[in-house]
Structure formats: C-alpha cells, structure tokens
Amino acid sequence: MAFTARSIANLKDQVNIVDVVSRALPLKRSGSSYKGVCPFHNEKTPSFNVSEQKQMFYCFGCLASGDVIEFVKRYYNLEFNDAVSRLANEYSIEMEETKGSNENLDKYYKINKDAAEFFYKSFTEKANKGYSYMKNRSITPQYLKKYGIGYADQEWNSLYDYLKSKGHEEKDMMELGLISESKGKYYDKFRNRVIFPIINTRGKVIGFGGRAIAKEDNPKYLNSQESKVFQKKNNLYGLNLSRGAVSKEGYIIIVEGYMDVVSLYQSGIENVAASLGTALTEQQARLIKRYAKKVVLCYDSDNAGRNAALRGMEILRAEGLDVRVMHVTDGKDPDDYIKQNGKNAFLQLVDNALYYGEYKIADAIKDLNLKDHHDRINAIKRIAAILRTMTPGEREEYASKMSKELNISKSVLLDEASSGSEKENNKQEEKNPSNEIVDETINQIESELLRLIWRNEEYILKVDENPELVEHDSVRRIIQAMKDNIEADGSCDNAKVLDQLDESDRMLVYNILENIAISHDDEKIFNGLVKKNRLISLQREVERINNILRYAGESEADNDEMEALMRRSMELQSLIVKVKSEEN
C-alpha cells in the first residue's frame, strides 16, 4: 500500500510533530523549540531538539533528523507507509492510495512558482492598474515584495504564453486552475486582477487569490480551484510569514481577506492570517494549534461575518483552542480601521474581544429589547439553548451573569436549560403534528430553487418577485452571476457563470446539479417552493408566540395582551391548515 504525495503533504500539514514526539518521550520548552533525551542513542544530557515552527527534529548527539513521519519510522521501527498509516489512524486523517506510479507534485509547485514570478514581474516592471490600486491602498513596496503580490494583465493569454515558453503542459496548467479552455482555445483564468500568491508553511506556492480591480469584474475575489497541491481547508493565507510572531505572541488573529493580512502585518501586527474565504475547518484549527493555543476571530460585523464567527468558534473550541471574537467598529474592515486609527487602537479591540460564551449570548440576543417583557422571555429561551451546550462550570458562570442582566432568578435560566435538554432527548419519541414544518429547511428550498433556475433561467425574475425564498449569501451570489450573464435572447451562459464564481460557490452548484432531482413541471415546482417557504414562516411565527406565552408566568404580562397573542396563534394555525390545502 502506497499513498499519494498530495495526501502525505496534507498529513504533514495537519499533524503537529511536538504532539507526536511528546507522546513518546518527555519534552521541555527551550526558547522557540523543545528539548528531550534522544531516543535513538544513549545519553543523559538532553540533545534532542524538536522545532514546532519547522516541524522537524534534530539530535546534536547522534545527528538523527527528519520530519514527523521520519520520527515515527525510527521510533517504532516501521516502514515509511506503515508510519504514515499509523499517523493517519491516530489523527483520523483520510489518505489517498496511489493507483500505479506515484504522482509528482514538484511539477505543479514549479508551475505555480513560475506563475508567481510572472505576476510579480508584471506588477513591478512597468506601470499597471494593479500597482496603482495597491499604492492607493497604502501598501509599501517592502510589503508588496514580502508577500510576492503581483498583477494579472488584461490580455487573454499572457500567462499561458509565458508558461508554455517554460515548457509546461496545458493539462497541468488546467489542473492548477491557471487557464481555462473554450472551443479548443486556452485563455488565462486571472485577468486584470491584483494577485496574492498563497504559500504554505513549507514555502511552496500552492495557489493564488485574484482581487478584481474594475467594479464590473465579477467575482470580486477569484481563488485558485482545488488541485493536487491546493486544498483550502488545509491552509491559511499569510501563515508562512506570521507563524514566528504567532508563537511569540501566544495567539493568532484570523481575518477574512488578503488585504487585511497584509495591512495588519505592515502596521506591526504580525500574528495574523486569513482563512482563504472559507469557513474555518478542523484541518485549519489543527494547523493553528501548532503555533498557538489562543485565537481571536476578526470577521465582518454583518450577518455573514457573525455566522462565520459562530461556526469558527465551534470548530476551534472542538480542537481545544481558547477562542475569542472581535468586530471592528464603525462597520470598517481591519485594513481600513488600522490605517485610520493605528496599531494601538486595533490592539485595544483585540483586548476587548468577547470570549466564547459572551459572544454566543450577545449574538443570540442582539436584536432583542431587554426592557420589553416579551423580548426578555425570548432572551431566556435563547440563552438557555446556549447554556445547555456548555460545561457545568461555564453554565453556572454565564447563568449568574445573565440573570443579573435580565433581573431574574438564576434558577430560571438553569431550569430552562435543563428542561430543554430533556426535550432534546425525547424529541425522537414524541411526534407533534403541528411541528412537522420545522424539519423543512430553507437550504432544501434554496437547493431546489437553484436547480430550477439553472435549468430554466426564466424563473430568475420570479425570484426577484419572491425575495423571501433566498436567505444565504452564496445563493444570492450565484443568482446575481446568472443575472449578469443573461444574453439578449434571454438565455444564460452557464459556463461563464461557473467561470466567474469562486470555488465554494462553484462547488455548491456542482453538488446541487449532482444530488438534487426535480420533476419537469417547472411552474408546479416553483409554486411548491413558495408554498413551503410560506408554511415555514407561519410556523416560526407560531413558535415565537407560543414561547412568549410559555414564559408569561415569569413576567408581569398584561392579560389582555396574552389573550391577543393566543388568538393570533390560533389564527396562524388555521392559516397553516388553509395553505396546506391549497393547490400548488
């Protein structure tokens, strides 16, 4: 059994050598590395060093050295593939087995390196829009060079011609997402964009991010597609430069964009990296854990940013990391904020970042008026739902804190959290007919809707008439890309749409086309989605009212007001029955 070079590289990205070695022998921190007694020769004075930054071991006594796989080979007396299998099993990492001869990743790294050099020369050797754009963003030449920032010109085949002159093959350029093909002709994927090379912690160029310069160019950010050397889930932008500062400071700041990373680093905040435009993954959390045990998430304060922060917190917490969340004030991104206010002001925001429980609770009740008894009742329910996800100690701490803010007994919160847990356990045993709509998710509606409009673009206009059908930003971006590519005859060039989408949105489309089946009656499908969405909205309103009524005993609720709410709940339930009976 042999494994692909790509999966071996991924394994080394995810496994921390310090963690592996410390399971075999005691290690003590010594400066930026760790020391222990060498297991490969007899010694009393420790001369065995493990570098977390370099992910290497070295013995000054017997001169043994190598990476994490080499250590496992030597220590457990295993063959290479057996050592890889052992690590993969211990860390639950999926490995790809080779079929035939093993693949050569070096050629892909070489192509990416040549592409990065081409973009950098285009950026620095003559006047261009990319350099002007970055100059206007106040990034100095020193940091433009440090990050290897480049420029993709407006021509259709500049990069292609350059890479061909270097002897590279079209199929390899296609694999890396540097070029596309249409009707037998090849053209550059990145055009008229500032280029940010993505470099892993081993110093290899694995992909690129392209930032549009012209407003009419979509998408705003275009990333390299997944390839044999580039998997977004395994990497963080800028960590190749910042990992030393991360270890020194003891924490890492995770931001959303390339520009945020470069701007913060230039301003003296070097312990920073970006998550490549995707939600944080387990693999990225493990990578972070190599260098620091504390994480500060600094995402946009809009709904998408807050949702990304909430998801990221759970991923990082599951890996045992201490996580906090900060949002830059005044609706600015970190790049704009630090330029306007300076390093110290930004660090003050970092110091005031909210811990896990604080942020989750603050986000859950941010739209409620705690002086209004209805909203206070709603707050109790939301806070209790969060409390039941916490450890007993955390639950006690936050129940005490929030009971003071709500001016209620702590026992009310703890009882509700406990009651909710019992309800969750019995959920499968008790079926309540009035709740059947709750299981219908908006994601399913949006999936079927995208499948429909991909087949029949006429329904794009009907989506405009029913905006409540779309909740997620990714779906909005896909629909907007389709609108942008409507031809004069009303048809949509789906190939162009796919080319303009970023990787995550493109994969969403592929998954829907592959997994979502719909009937051929387009009008019936669309009307059914509108009906299903309306039922969900009505059911949510019924639940909201019922929750208020449920907690009425804990507040000084007005009887007339409670009666009005009960009448409204009954009206809504009657309306649900009526809507269900309607023909699509």
- Whether the per-residue pLDDT at 262 is higher than 60: the answer is yes
Q: For residues 167 and 25, what is the distance between their CA atoms, to the nearest angstrom?
A: 48
- Whether the per-residue pLDDT at 435 is higher than 60: the answer is no
pLDDT at res. 555: 47
- Whether the per-residue pLDDT at 82 is higher than 60: the answer is yes
Q: Answer with the residue of higher pLDDT: 147 or 370.
A: 147
Average pLDDT score over residue span 415-427: 60
Residue whose structure tokens are 């998710």: 441
Cβ contact 17:57 at 8 Å:
yes
CA distances from 68 to 21, 25, 61, 86, 200 (A): 8, 14, 19, 11, 17
Evaluate the omega torsion of the peptide bond into residue 392 and state whether it is cis, within 30 degrees of 0.
no
Cβ contact 133:153 at 8 Å:
no
- pTM (two decimals): 0.67
Least confident among 231-245, 284-298, 449-463: 449-463
pLDDT band at 430 (very low <50, low <70, confident <90, very high): very low
Tokens of 236: 């963080």
The CA-to-CA distance between both ends of the chain, in Å, stands at 56
pLDDT band at 584 (very low <50, low <70, confident <90, very high): low
pLDDT band at 441 (very low <50, low <70, confident <90, very high): very low
Q: Give the strand pairing for 272-274 and 322-326.
A: unpaired
Residue 446: exposure state from Cβ atoms within 10 A (0-12, 13-18, ≥19):
buried
